A = this chain, B = another copy of it.
C-alpha cells in the first residue's frame, strides 16, 4: 500500500477519518469474542455515498482491496481481514442518517451505518415496529444486518433481514451506484438485484442505504414458558401453535434442561418459572392486533396442549417484568456457556420435521466422540435453526476440548448435510466457514456463486477471502 493512496483517501474523507494508528485500529480489527485479531493497512470512514463512490473508484483504479464493516459484531469474520494485511477496512459507521420515515407507506429509509437499535427506535417513534431483533442490536448496523441477512428472534413471524428490506442503494465494484431505494411492495420490472446483494457479505457491492419495512406495533402480546417432554412434542406444539394459538406466533424457541441449568447457575437473578424439572422447554410468544382476548385464547390453547401431553407445565407471563424474566432465560444462554468451560458451536438449520431427529443424532454423535461432553442445543426451533453448542466435559482440559473443534464440526455438519440442512443458518460464511463450503455445497451452486462474483467484482477488490 503506497502512502499515496492513503493520502488520496484522506483527501476524500478527511484526514481524521483515515485511521492508521495501531491502537486506534484495534476496535475494528478485534473479533468481539476475542477469537482473533485481523490485520489491515488502515480504517477509512466515509460519511456519504459520494465518498464511498470516490473510495471505490480509487480502489478499482489502484487494485486496492476493501473490506466493508458495520458494527463489527459478525460471528464468522466476514468483516475483518486476516490475510496479509493489505486490505483497507471501509467502516460505514459514519453513514448513520435516517433519510426518511414514512409510516403511511410502512417504510423507513436509512443509511447502512445506523445501528439496529436506532432503527428500531425510529420506527417506534413513528408508531411502527421494525421487527429485526438480535443480541447485538445496540452496536450492529443495518448495512451489516442486510449484508449477512441477519436472523434473530422474530424471524418466525416477520422473516430474516432479507424479507424486511424493500430496496437498496449499492455502490458497485466499479464505483457505479445502483439506486434501488424503492418503497414498493410489488415491482416486477426485471431481475431481482436486491437479493443478490443481501447476504453477500459485501463481496458483490457495498450497501450504503436501504428501505426497511415497518409493521404495526402489536396490540397485545402473550409470553409463555413451557415444559415439554421432548423435541417431538415441541414440534407438534409448534404446528398446533401456528394453527391456533389465538394470534400470530412470533417466537418459538427451544432449550434443554442442561441449558436452563447453566442459566440458573450463572445468570444473576435468573429463576426457574416452573416448579418441577423438565428435560426440554419452549419459550413461546404470540402477538395480536386486538387489545383484548389474547391471554384467554392462549390460555385455552395451552389448556388443550396440556391435555394432549404436548406440554407438561406452563407459565404465562402476567406482567412485563415476568415477560422479561422469561426472555432473559433464553437470552443469557449464549453467555453462560462461557462459565462452563470450552464450547464448540454450530449454527445449523434443517427442515422443521427433522429438528427432533437432528438433535437426537447430533447429541449421540458428539457424546460418542467426546464422552461426558454436554450438548446444549437451543434456539429458533420455529425456523428449524438450532444453535447446537457443545460444552466440554466437567473438569476436562479446555484447550484440548477446543482443539477438537473442527473434528466435532465435521461430525455435526455431516448429519446436517444428510438431512439437507444448512451449516450456517443465520451467521453467514465470512472467512471462518469459507473452507467448509466445498464440502457441503452443490458444485453447480458453488460454481454459480463464483461466476457471479467474477461478474460483479472482476478485480476481486471487495472483501476478498470472504464467502467465495
Please pick, from B107, B191, B217, B248, the residue contacting A199 in the complex, using a CB distance under 8 A.
B191
Tell whether A243 pairs with B289 under 8 Å between CB atoms, given A185-B155, A192-B198, A428-B188: yes
Q: How far is the CA of A76 from the CA of B62 in the complex (A)?
A: 45
B188 near A444 with CB under 8 A, answer: no
**Cβ–Cβ < 8 Å partners of A255 in chain B:** none
Closest residue of chain B to A448, judged by CB?
Answer: B193
**Cβ–Cβ < 8 Å partners of A449 in chain B:** 190-191, 193
Closest residue of chain B to A451, judged by CB?
Answer: B455
A188 near B425 with CB under 8 A, answer: yes
B104 near A189 with CB under 8 A, answer: no
Interface centre among A178, A427, A453 (most CB of B within 10 A): A178
Chain A positions 97 through 135: 1 when the CB is less than 8 Å from some CB of chain B, otherwise 0? 000001111110000000000000000000000000000
A178 near B445 with CB under 8 A, answer: yes
Tell whether A186 pairs with B246 under 8 Å between CB atoms, given A102-B353, A178-B445, A449-B191: no
A192 near B162 with CB under 8 A, answer: yes
A351 near B428 with CB under 8 A, answer: no
A212 at the interface (CB under 8 A from B): no
**Cβ–Cβ < 8 Å partners of A184 in chain B:** 349-351, 384, 420-422, 425
Query: How close is A66's CB to chain B, nearest CB, in angstroms?
Result: 19
Closest residue of chain B to A192, judged by CB?
Answer: B195
B422 near A176 with CB under 8 A, answer: no
Chain A positions 277 through 305: 1 when the CB is less than 8 Å from some CB of chain B, otherwise 0? 00000000000111101000100000000
Number of interface residues of A (CB under 8 A): 97
A186 near B380 with CB under 8 A, answer: yes
A437 at the interface (CB under 8 A from B): yes
B185 near A384 with CB under 8 A, answer: yes
Tell whether A189 pairs with B422 under 8 Å between CB atoms, given A351-B183, A352-B104, A352-B106: yes
B422 near A384 with CB under 8 A, answer: no
A186 near B160 with CB under 8 A, answer: yes
Closest residue of chain B to A219, judged by CB?
Answer: B244
**Cβ–Cβ < 8 Å partners of A350 in chain B:** 184
Closest residue of chain B to A190, judged by CB?
Answer: B449
A293 near B293 with CB under 8 A, answer: yes
A219 near B243 with CB under 8 A, answer: yes
Q: How far is the CA of A426 from the CA of B184 in the complex (A)?
A: 11
Chain A positions 327 through 370: 1 when the CB is less than 8 Å from some CB of chain B, otherwise 0? 00000000000000000000001111110000000000000000
A190 near B151 with CB under 8 A, answer: no
Chain A positions 238 through 252: 1 when the CB is less than 8 Å from some CB of chain B, otherwise 0? 010011111110000
A191 near B196 with CB under 8 A, answer: yes
Closest residue of chain B to A452, judged by CB?
Answer: B191
A424 at the interface (CB under 8 A from B): yes
A163 at the interface (CB under 8 A from B): yes
Q: How far is the CA of A384 from the CA of B213 in the complex (A)?
A: 14
**Cβ–Cβ < 8 Å partners of A104 in chain B:** 235, 239, 352-353
A429 near B176 with CB under 8 A, answer: no
Please pick, from B176, B180, B196, the residue contacting A196 in the complex, using a CB distance under 8 A.
B196
A186 near B426 with CB under 8 A, answer: yes
A265 at the interface (CB under 8 A from B): no
A253 at the interface (CB under 8 A from B): no
A179 at the interface (CB under 8 A from B): yes
Report, nearest first, the 5 A-B pairs whose CB atoms are least far apart: A216-B243, A104-B353, A183-B351, A195-B195, A187-B422
Chain A interfacial positions (CB closer than 8 Å to B): 102-107, 148-149, 151, 155, 159-160, 162-163, 172, 176-180, 182-196, 198-200, 204, 215-217, 219, 235, 239, 242-248, 288-291, 293, 297, 349-354, 380, 382-385, 420-429, 433, 437, 440-442, 444-449, 451-453, 455-456, 467-468
A188-B424, A190-B445 given; name 14 further pairs at CB < 8 Å. A105-B384, A149-B188, A184-B351, A184-B422, A185-B385, A187-B422, A188-B427, A189-B423, A190-B199, A190-B437, A191-B453, A193-B445, A247-B288, A293-B297
Selected A-B contacts with CB under 8 Å, 18 pairs: A102-B351, A105-B352, A151-B186, A155-B185, A176-B447, A179-B444, A184-B349, A186-B383, A187-B424, A188-B424, A189-B437, A192-B195, A192-B196, A194-B195, A195-B195, A216-B239, A247-B290, A455-B455
